[in-house]
Structure 1
Amino acid sequence: MTENGSFIVNGSERVIVSQLHRSPGVIFLEKSLPTGRTPTAQIIPYRGAWVEFEIDTKDQIYVRIDKRKKLPATVLLRALGWESDADILKLYAKTERLVLAGWQEPYTLKDAALLTIFRTLRPGDPAGLENARKHLSWLLFDAHRYDLGVVGRYKLNRKFQNIPVYVRTLRPEDIAATVDYLLKVHNGIAPKDDLDHLGNRRVRVIGELLENQFRMGLFQIRRTTRERLSTDNDIAKVVPSSLVNPKPLMMALREFFGSNQLSQFMQQINPLDELTHKRRISAIGPGGLHRDRATAAVRDVHRTHYGRVCPLETPEGPSIGLIVSLACYGRINPYGFIETPYHRVDEDAKLGPVEYLTADSEDTAHIAARATQRNGKQTGDGDAAASEHLLPVRSGEDVLSLPMEKVDYIGVSPQQIVGISAALVPFLEHEDANRALMGANHQRQAVPLVRPEAPLVGTGMEAPAALYSGALITAKRAGTVTSVSADEILIYTGETLHHDQELQTFKRSNSGTCIHQHPIVAVGDIVEAEQVIVDGTSTENGELALGRNVLCAYMPWGGHNYEDSILISETLIKEDTFTSIHIEEFEVEARETKVGPEEITRDIPNVSEQRLTQLDEEGIIRVGSVVGAGSILVGKITPKGESEYGPEEKLLRAIFGEKVKEVRDASTYVRPGVEGVVIDVKVFSRKMGDELKPGVIKRVKVYVASKRPISVGDKMAGRYGNKGVIAKILPAEDMPYLPDGTPVELVLNPLGVPSRMNVGQILEIHLGWACHELGIRVATPVFDGATEGEIFEMLGKTDLPKRSKQSGKSILFDGRTGDPFAQEVTVGYVYFLKLNHLVADKMHARSTGPYSLVTQQPLGGKAQHGGQRLGEMEVWALEAYGAAHTLQEMLTLKSDDVLGRREIYESVVKGLNPEPPGTPESFKVLVRELQTLGLYVSLDKDEDCLLQPSSHSVIIFEVCFSNPPAPLLQATGFV
């Protein structure tokens, strides 16, 4: 486990995502039946059998144990000791009518009730009284079999009587109290529970998940140990090592970290991506929900999410609402419930100490949000004006208007409602929720830039987010910097030893981006403890810097920014504004094979010396080499098997011996679309003492770094869900320019704003312009941001023209003609991100390549160097156009006509006219499929039918069973 909360498993960094699941305890719900709604009660253990009670439409109470056949609840009560009617009547004297409905059952003895329960739970087993008593005790009251857990007992105690927390099994009093409360719910005296309330859902963190796996492994060890003890005759000679096999425990832990749904490969596009992945909470996983079966009610935002779960940050796909993030100030208590902090309000309307409340505790309190008043002071600052106002107050499911004196708690911050990503979006309060969700997610996809820049308009969360992500390095002690280099910083702390801080340089992240740290202190600087001394990926001076501030204009430009397309200036390429570094990893293994060992070597058959110039003596590419598609990175040869030789060659080899060993080229080549510089090579081998997998002789890892400037087809986005694709890169002289001659760097379509209702970007562009002109940076926190008046007040302090100060717009001139545009244009500085959807990773082309073994059709997808899929809908479209020749080419020559495609390739190379298409391979496969069914199928082209325009019969199938000499069946089909 690392300092930053991730795990290194088999050399890769992984994150264990916390799981949100239904809390153990008792819950009272309503079930919909065809006859109406009926109340139910469920006692949910942490481990063991469920006990469910329900009241039917005839007011009879039934119980269902371990999801088996239901029984009258009076049977279970009698089995637990309340044997007579008088005993049961004492329990529920106030709800006599409902209890009497169960008296008609002829169960008057405890023993009869026990036998009835046993027959229901174990219908095939012989029913004995002692067996029945033991079985019920073992099922519900045995600590080895049944465990409520600390949380389950805590939840039961909140509903019913206080039983010590260490009692983790059910007691008869718990069952009696459950029935009593269920009757109250049925009579409308007590409220029913909400399944989606965060008081009824808790979080399993890594420690608990690992503990469960550990328990399963230990149980298996105990079972096998007992089996061995029972089979060993001579106990005196038994040693512990022969009895106890630790493998089940090791396998359980290995399986958990390696393949469990909650153990995920850490997302590491940028520091924010890494931070939010660790704060993620998933309702999916073992013992949780399934994407296909989860209802809208489970996915929806709940009132108890306030301050605990971010209502915005969730995926857009099938996992929406099932994978969420912890809110900024949320924390998980020892019971697994999410808490959020509030200030307690004293009797004199002053703020008291901070208290963390769970969702259950919050239900009975009057809580006001931390919001800004008109006079600029926040709610709860203790001023007289604030106490006179009526505040919107949450009280359970209701919203009331109360004076300050009647408020119990006040939030600690306006931004406590949202998570880290959403808290980085300025003017979030002016956003539509759908676009705010996209904006929060886009920031996690931002590629680290070579020259990152902190936003002019931030929220104040940039520094904490960067610090807690682990991207920065802080000084562990106060001292003086004595040495600074690219790899380490030495700090003299007043003692004899220097404090050494090592830096990471050009390391590959899990997502293929570049992790690079650089010092921001100089020799002689005096640093304090916890002061930031090293900037990391996507940070600037200790603040998160995911993108760049660019001069932007909202205007149409010749249709090139139609439908969210983006027009950018060539300046952004020349100045490396949005240039990023990506690192590809290539791994090669030399293994032991049945016909001999593989070898990493420079001696590769049928490869010219010119192509081997960049390889060293061992056949590995040299660091610093510039490589492109098709370059050899590691030379490797594999011995050919004896089965590949013909019989004559085998005989000659047997007579004359093996003169030359036949090998084939198995070298690693650079994939198409990848080019760059080799920045590192790592070699692991058994000779050097490295630990490798069984059968592996040597392993080589080659890292290729490529520098990618922004290009046409790359996806970019702001922080407001305003995403788009680069459509055109214009020379700076052709871009629209301001009256002072400054060319605009980015042109966005104004039609992308009104329908999306993400108005925050307009406020950002005005405030960004003012900040740039004044040379300052501002923080405008979410739900407590700058007002329109404050923005225009800042614009008024600038040296901009008077009209621009009043409107935030400016006259722009067309760079191509020099003429002014007809209207003033909204112009200013916006913060834009380059997302990890790069055209270089998606662009793909194929002329020839690999084919499927059975159908002989080209493979699909870029990974297989495949072709473009032509499905049935595309066939219909070509048929509708009457494009017969194109359609025939697509289905034969360009697909699975093996002979025809070879001939047409030759005719293209030689410049000859192509031959007509032949029979496609997939048709031959169909014929062979029919032959496997015992049918003889032959293809016969009827020339007479082809010459008659009126006939539609083109191909005749003659089908007969294989064994009979004469055809038994003939069929005519159409193709």
Structure 2
Amino acid sequence: MSIILKQFYKHEQKNQFFSDFTELQRKSFLNLLQNGLIEELSNRNPIRNNKNNIELIFYPEYYKLKRPKWNVRQSILLGKSYVAELYIPVQLMDKKSKKIQLKWVLIGNLPLMTKRGYFIINGAVRVIMNQIIRGPGIYYSEAIHQYDSFDKKNILMNQSFSRYYADFVSLRGYWLRFSVDKDHFFWAEMKKTPKIPLLWFLLGIGLSERVIFRYISNPKRLLQNFNHSLQTDFAVTKKVKKLQLNNYLSNNLVKNQINGNIIKNSKKNDTFEIPSIVLPDSSIMAWDLISKKLVKKKKMSILKSQEQARKWLFQRFMNPRTYDIGMIGRLALNKKLNLSISTKKHVLTSYDLLFATDYLMKVEKGLKNLDDIDHLQNRKLRTAAEIIQIQIGVGLIRLEKYIKDRLNQIKVIPKMESLITTKSLNGALTEFFGTSPLSQFMDQINPLAEITHKRRLTSLGPGGITKDNATMIIRGIHPTHYGRICPVETPEGKNAGLVNSITTYARINSSGLIETPFYKVYKGQVIKNLGIFYLSSDEEEQINMVAADINLSALGFLPKNQIPGRKKDNFIRFFRNQVHYMSLSPIQMISIATSLVPFFEHDDANRALMGANMQRQAVPLIRPKRPIVGTGVEIRSVADSGHILESITGGIVSYVSAQKIIVHTVYK
């Protein structure tokens, strides 16, 4: 009796566009070896002692990895880690005696990824989850607050007011927010510090009043806030004139307006004398006011307070060692605020803050739109290698602190081997692989479970959200998920919607954004000869697209009648001349596990979810066979998992035994 094998989703000819299903893991680790490792080591250069006479410099461009002591199989059998020793040329220089030491130094053991996309730590096979988080940049939002009040007739009224925020998100550094309160005053807010009037902050960051009032659309708002803060935060012993805006404020802002009055802090009753001679411009005044706002000391000279405030602002937002928005954050700021600052500038600049203030004013007036935080253009995928790079940075910070302590304690330059220890980097990596929720023991029930685990996305973990506080909006499906994140495959329970899978055709670009492929459509004809075009979610906002299951003519033309399509969040019917792109395949919007479910489009969504999840729990057969009903993805999913033997070239299998397989090819 013969069994007819049937395959559905007629897309066999499109399998050539499938990228390797484990490429996401391997490609990211290659980027770590080529760029990430060098970047983290360069961030620590140079390391100096307190006297600034001894200097240590890494040369990360010339690093070397020693071949692992055990191979993959031996590491698993012996319970060892599959790691490579990391050697870097280091230069130690004494500026007084002008002695220089230059040696290759071992700084730690770097875990290596196998060709199947996993790590081996103490004999255990581990996978690093991909994390999807809010990308670095600036985000504008609105919060509506409700409160009860009584009117003139003593009737209880339920009223509300809106507050607007501009949040600066960084890869590493302090949290910063610009806000507009219910009285329409502008503030700069940071954690564990009092909020600062925004004009003070802009002046203290180094901007002159002339520049501020040239680029701010409504400078009177900032001046009103400045007057209000002077009246509420400080008690003035003599009358202080209100600041007036003519063309621009003069450079002698303090001299002309405050006129050397004594300002007394109302909270601690401390007096501070501000002579007009010492304050030549507004930036110095702002530094002094910020220092008195943040540092609560009984006595402080005006010069000391200026220096302290200047250092405080620089250390928080302008020091590359403590604050980093990355190249992605810089591109996002330039695009949002219409700036042209160099992409190598990975800290906040004064013009970032200035134009962010002007944008916030326009958002409050309704001239600019708020940001949708669930839109994928505002979400960045942090791959496994990027997460490891962060841990390498943590280990190098510990190493830097250890080296500085050693250099400050000794009087004579020691040998290089005694100055650099491997405990710092090894400890940070061991701690991460052993305790982090993003490092998990690989699911090896069957090949599908393994390959799905490597392509999983999570919103949880360090820098992400917690499952107890996640709302339904965060867990829901967004229109930008089409072709990028599977709407079906997600766990049941508390993690529903927080742990997802990447779709079959999707890939990750250099900015950490998920891209999905399309065919170009020109005047109603699908141009397949040009190949496929990968678009990110923000690029997709500008196009009219139709699904892949639209019937085409023999020459590749779309139907003449109106056809259903999508633009942004709306489903619209287009004529074929209005269509820009066409999807590649019907299974483009789902993950590998979901695409293995036959007829899933006729199934209930909940049952399709259960079917996709339960496939990963199936135990493999002793004698595997082809499925009676297939979808065409089975071969690629098993092949890319690494669980089958693959021949380098095609041919005819003439002999099979437990010891060998003979394949005859037409090539010599």
TM-score, length-scaled by structure 1: 0.48
Give yes or no for contact 1:38–1:56 (8 Å, CA) kept in 2.
yes
Quote the residue 1:21 is aligned against: 133
- Equivalent position to 2:142, from 30, 52, 57: 30
The aligned amino acid for 1:11 is G
Structure 1 pair 413/480, CA: closer, same or farther in 2 (3 Å)? Answer: closer
Quote the residue 1:297 is aligned against: 473
Quote the residue 1:306 is aligned against: 482
Quote the residue 1:575 is aligned against: none
Quote the residue 2:215 is aligned against: 91
- Equivalent position to 1:322, from 475, 492, 498: 498
Shift of 1:422: 0.7
Verify: 1:363 aligned to 2:536, yes or no: no
Structure 1 pair 290/372, CA: closer, same or farther in 2 (3 Å)? Answer: same
Distance in 1, matches of 2:419 and 2:307, equals 34
Quote the residue 2:664 is aligned against: 526
Quote the residue 2:407 is aligned against: 229
Quote the residue 2:328 is aligned against: 151
Aligned pairs (5 A) from 1:288-687 = 288-347=464-523, 349-351=525-527, 352-373=530-551, 377=552, 383=556, 386-477=558-649, 484-489=656-661, 523=662, 525-527=663-665
Per-residue CA distance 1:136-179 (angstroms, 9 max, x = gap): 11211111111111111121122121222111111111111111
Q: Percent identity?
A: 37
- Equivalent position to 2:181, from 56, 68, 74: 56
Per-residue CA distance 1:81-114 (angstroms, 9 max, x = gap): 4443x54332123x35644542524485322222
Distance in 1, matches of 2:195 and 2:547, equals 47
Structure 1 pair 434/121, CA: closer, same or farther in 2 (3 Å)? Answer: farther
Structure 1 pair 349/479, CA: closer, same or farther in 2 (3 Å)? Answer: closer
Q: 3-state DSSP class of the match of 1:33?
A: strand
Quote the residue 1:267 is aligned against: 443
Aligned Cα RMSD in Å? 2.2
Distance in 2, matches of 1:88 and 1:25, equals 22
The aligned amino acid for 1:26 is I
Distance in 2, matches of 1:481 and 1:426, equals 30
Give yes or no for contact 2:212–2:354 (8 Å, CA) kept in 1.
no
Give yes or no for contact 1:363–1:396 (8 Å, CA) kept in 2.
yes
Structure 1 pair 484/432, CA: closer, same or farther in 2 (3 Å)? Answer: closer
The aligned amino acid for 2:332 is K
Give yes or no for contact 2:377–2:513 (8 Å, CA) kept in 1.
yes
Shift of 1:132: 1.2
Q: 3-state DSSP class of the match of 1:183?
A: helix
Distance in 2, matches of 1:256 and 1:364, equals 41
The aligned amino acid for 1:204 is R
Quote the residue 1:118 is aligned against: 291
The aligned amino acid for 2:127 is V
The aligned amino acid for 1:400 is I
Distance in 2, matches of 1:391 and 1:67, equals 56
Quote the residue 2:28 is aligned against: none
Give yes or no for contact 1:313–1:419 (8 Å, CA) kept in 2.
yes
Distance in 2, matches of 1:181 and 1:288, equals 27
- Equivalent position to 1:217, from 386, 395, 404: 395
Distance in 2, matches of 1:124 and 1:424, equals 68
Distance in 1, matches of 2:574 and 2:641, equals 40
Q: Which has the higher contact order (CA 8 A, sep 6+)?
A: 2
Distance in 1, matches of 2:666 and 2:637, equals 20
Quote the residue 2:59 is aligned against: none
Distance in 1, matches of 2:579 and 2:364, equals 33
Distance in 2, matches of 1:473 and 1:330, equals 26
The aligned amino acid for 1:6 is Y
The aligned amino acid for 1:309 is I
Distance in 2, matches of 1:266 and 1:367, equals 38
Higher Rg: 1
Shift of 1:400: 1.7
Structure 1 pair 189/482, CA: closer, same or farther in 2 (3 Å)? Answer: same
Structure 1 pair 363/124, CA: closer, same or farther in 2 (3 Å)? Answer: farther
Distance in 1, matches of 2:651 and 2:505, equals 33
Q: 3-state DSSP class of the match of 2:328?
A: helix
Per-residue CA distance 1:931-968 (angstroms, 9 max, x = gap): xxxxxxxxxxxxxxxxxxxxxxxxxxxxxxxxxxxxxx
Give yes or no for contact 1:59–1:101 (8 Å, CA) kept in 2.
no
Q: 3-state DSSP class of the match of 2:187?
A: strand
Quote the residue 2:452 is aligned against: 276
Shift of 1:118: 3.0
- Equivalent position to 2:383, from 182, 205, 229: 205
Structure 1 pair 258/346, CA: closer, same or farther in 2 (3 Å)? Answer: same
The aligned amino acid for 2:470 is A
Distance in 1, matches of 2:403 and 2:441, equals 35
Which range moves more in the overlay, 464-473 or 116-125?
A: 116-125
Distance in 2, matches of 1:104 and 1:122, equals 21
Unaligned runs of 5+ residues in structure 2 are 1-112, 147-159, 231-242, 244-252, 254-281
Give yes or no for contact 1:118–1:136 (8 Å, CA) kept in 2.
no
Structure 1 pair 164/316, CA: closer, same or farther in 2 (3 Å)? Answer: same
Distance in 2, matches of 1:163 and 1:382, equals 47
Structure 1 pair 346/120, CA: closer, same or farther in 2 (3 Å)? Answer: farther
Per-residue CA distance 1:460-506 (angstroms, 9 max, x = gap): 111211211212211124577686431443xxxxxxxxxxxxxxxxx
Shift of 1:320: 0.8
Shift of 1:444: 0.7
Quote the residue 1:257 is aligned against: 433
Give yes or no for contact 1:327–1:417 (8 Å, CA) kept in 2.
yes
The aligned amino acid for 2:625 is E
The aligned amino acid for 2:478 is H
Verify: 1:192 aligned to 2:315, yes or no: no
Distance in 2, matches of 1:369 and 1:262, equals 35
Quote the residue 2:225 is aligned against: 102
Distance in 2, matches of 1:214 and 1:383, equals 51
How many pairs does the alignment contain? 485
Distance in 2, matches of 1:102 and 1:382, equals 66
Per-residue CA distance 1:637-669 (angstroms, 9 max, x = gap): xxxxxxxxxxxxxxxxxxxxxxxxxxxxxxxxx
Give yes or no for contact 1:475–1:527 (8 Å, CA) kept in 2.
no
Shift of 1:382: 5.2
Distance in 1, matches of 2:458 and 2:174, equals 25
Quote the residue 1:767 is aligned against: none
Shift of 1:528: 7.6
Distance in 2, matches of 1:431 and 1:463, equals 24
